[in-house]
A = this chain, B = another copy of it.
Amino acid sequence: MSRERQHKHGAPVTMRDIAKEAAVSVATVSHVVNNKEGARIGEETRQRVHEAIDHLGYRTNALAKTLSVGSSRFIGLVADAIATTPFAGQIIHGAQDEAWKHGYVLLVANTEGNQAAENDAIAMMLEHQVKGILYSTWYHREIDVPESLHQTDTVLVDCFSTGSGLPAVVPNEQQGGKTATEELITAGHQRIAFINTTTPSPALTGRLAGYRSALEAAEIDFDESLVIPAVPEQEGGYEATAAIIASGATAVFCHNDRVAMGLYDGLREQGLDVPKDMAVVGFDNQEVIAAHLRPPLSTVALPHYELGAAGIRVLLGLEPEQDDEMYLIECPAIRRQSV
């Protein structure tokens, strides 16, 4: 029943085309295609519809299919600001590629954090009988799960909700922090500062834990004075410059690439060269910045594409199940020229 033929001009053959060819109504075609019970259609008419289908080629209409089997080939993605946030859009890209691979179409709703828009989006998706919903945030955090998400299969992406029972696919912040720090240790540094964010978040605690575990594995004592809090933007990195220089560090792990960009400016003003006078590693791999700083920034990638793709796989039951329903995605090192 799932023929893939198309009109010569490339457009798919629709029920309307079949109806026209067979000189019957679209409803009749629908009844024949879906073997609707209760529909009284003469054998001759049924025959004519089947001949038209054979003649034109016909791909089972997704909507008709949905009505007859009760669930659709849609997967919903409800996002707070992903599509409109630099680089987190890769979550959509990954989810979409993976959904298509398994024959699903991604319905995307961007809610900009608006509660009413979110409720509308979820209701719309439930009404379209989606296979399930990915609920996603543009940065990693704990959330309260909207009640209506429990009406369908839901996977949280780049967020989690303790005690909700919902599976969550999140970046492995701790491994990422460890990887960043190891890049500097491997290059020979012992006195390594960490400009951490001031925003309470899994990134704050996870990356710090990773930094500490890398030091510990290398038998370098943890020195609390080397952890410098800063607003996680360019301005924060710039303002941390004096403290970094005063700390006697020869290398800095920055909470994100934007902080590293501000620190670059501050170091340059003090006549210090990256990486000769100070090695720098970022986090995020926000390409438009990291790849184009002078020198290009070595960093650790937030795996947005993989988060989206893994979210789909978890929803479809294609990932090995985790006991705690937390799926940690690796944050890989991206080496450029700042170490």
Contact B105 A105 (CB under 8 A): no
Q: For residue A146, give the distance in angstroms from its CB to the closest CB of chain B.
A: 8
Q: For residue A214, give the distance in angstroms from its CB to the closest CB of chain B.
A: 28
Q: Let me know if A30 is at the binding interface, CB within 8 A.
A: yes
Q: Which of B26, B68, B261 meets A292, CB within 8 Å?
A: B261
Contact A292 B233 (CB under 8 A): yes
A64 touching B62 in the complex, CB below 8 Å, given contacts A9-B148, A83-B83, A148-B11: no
Q: Let me know if A93 is at the binding interface, CB within 8 A.
A: yes
Q: For residue A48, give the distance in angstroms from its CB to the closest CB of chain B.
A: 15
Q: How far is the CA of A71 from the CA of B112 in the complex (A)?
A: 28
What total of chain A residues lie within 8 Å of the partner, measured CB to CB?
A: 77
In the complex, residue of chain B having the shortest beta-carbon distance to the beta carbon of A287: B86
A128 touching B31 in the complex, CB below 8 Å, given contacts A83-B83, A84-B90: no
Q: Let me know if A244 is at the binding interface, CB within 8 A.
A: no
Copies of this protein in the complex: 2
In the complex, residue of chain B having the shortest beta-carbon distance to the beta carbon of A108: B108
* A117 contact set on B, CB distance < 8 A: 100
Contact B86 A87 (CB under 8 A): yes
Q: Let me know if A268 is at the binding interface, CB within 8 A.
A: yes
Q: How far is the CA of A41 from the CA of B93 in the complex (A)?
A: 46
- Chain A 46-87 interface residues, beta-carbon cutoff 8 Å to B: 59, 61-64, 66-68, 70, 72, 83-87
Interchain residue pairs A-B with the least CB separation, the first 5: A86-B86, A234-B292, A11-B151, A84-B93, A108-B108
* Additional A-B contact list (20), CB under 8 Å, known A9-B151, A10-B148, A234-B292: A9-B148, A11-B123, A11-B148, A12-B126, A12-B127, A14-B127, A26-B67, A31-B38, A36-B39, A59-B127, A67-B67, A83-B83, A83-B89, A92-B108, A100-B120, A258-B292, A265-B294, A268-B269, A286-B288, A289-B289
